[in-house]
A and B are shown apart, each in its own frame.
Chain A
Amino acid sequence: EAGVAQSPRYKIIEKRQSVAFWCNPISGHATLYWYQQILGQGPKLLIQFQNNGVVDDSQLPKDRFSAERLKGVDSTLKIQPAKLEDSAVYLCASSQATWRNDQPQHFGDGTRLSIL
């Protein structure tokens, strides 16, 4: 099966600019996650979708970050305006999990964002 696809792989922008990331999950996976991974740390969940509904966005900085999952498939994550502290790798993952947490997450290789 095809894995989780993310683009772009790298992005360099100046602070206060906007940026968007795209994710195509594994076909048939109901749950989609966006994580932020700062160098040397574990992934931190930003937002979780089940189909096209938001399950958890408690750690999403909503004043600058937004995400959507149209038609319950592809997803985009946007940052506007970007701050220096947003420099990180943004990972997308998908899973077959629905009401139980007993399924693995499948990750893309992420987008490495650098803010100048």
Chain B
Amino acid sequence: SQKIEQNSEALNIQEGKTATLTCNYTNYSPAYLQWYRQDPGRGPVFLLLIRENEKEKRKERLKVTFDTTLKQSLFHITASQPADSATYLCALDNYGQNFVFGPGTRLSVLP
């Protein structure tokens, strides 16, 4: 069956460190993968999109990798700040029609 897993429900890290979030999938062949940030009581906000033929994408302190062999995407936030605390969602392209979201990882950056 199809499955999307994101690393532990919650991740706590110290301010200034690099946060690494994982998104693993089974029985999907996504051409695109997106990452979103969601704050409590708000809708998800788009962060990055990476294509299947791209290994890595960067935007300011954010970096995403996409390994179609391992069926995994990693999302990194460098020099993390308390303001980065939120839930992060990965979303997989569903055969070009729409996206399927993972369950999310709640990140807390401790000062």
Task: Tell me the A residues contacting B by CB distance below 8 Å.
Answer: 4, 33, 35, 40-45, 48, 55-56, 91, 93, 99-102, 104-110
Contact = CB atoms under 8 A, between A and B. Distances in A.
Interface residues of B, number: 26
Nearest to B51: A102
B102 A101 contact: no
B10 to A, nearest CB: 11
B43 A42 contact: no
Contacts of A33: 98
Interface of B: 4, 9, 31-32, 34, 41-46, 49, 51, 89, 91, 93-94, 96-104
A106 B46 contact: yes
Contacts, number: 61
B43 A101 contact: no
Contact of A105 (B31, B46, B51, B104): B46
A93 B99 CA distance: 12
Closest 9 CB pairs of A and B: A107-B43, A42-B101, A104-B46, A101-B93, A43-B101, A109-B43, A42-B103, A107-B44, A48-B98
B98 A101 contact: yes
Contacts of B94: 101
Nearest to B106: A40
A102 B103 contact: no
7 contacts: A93-B43, A101-B97, A101-B99, A102-B51, A105-B44, A109-B42, A110-B43
A101 B32 contact: yes
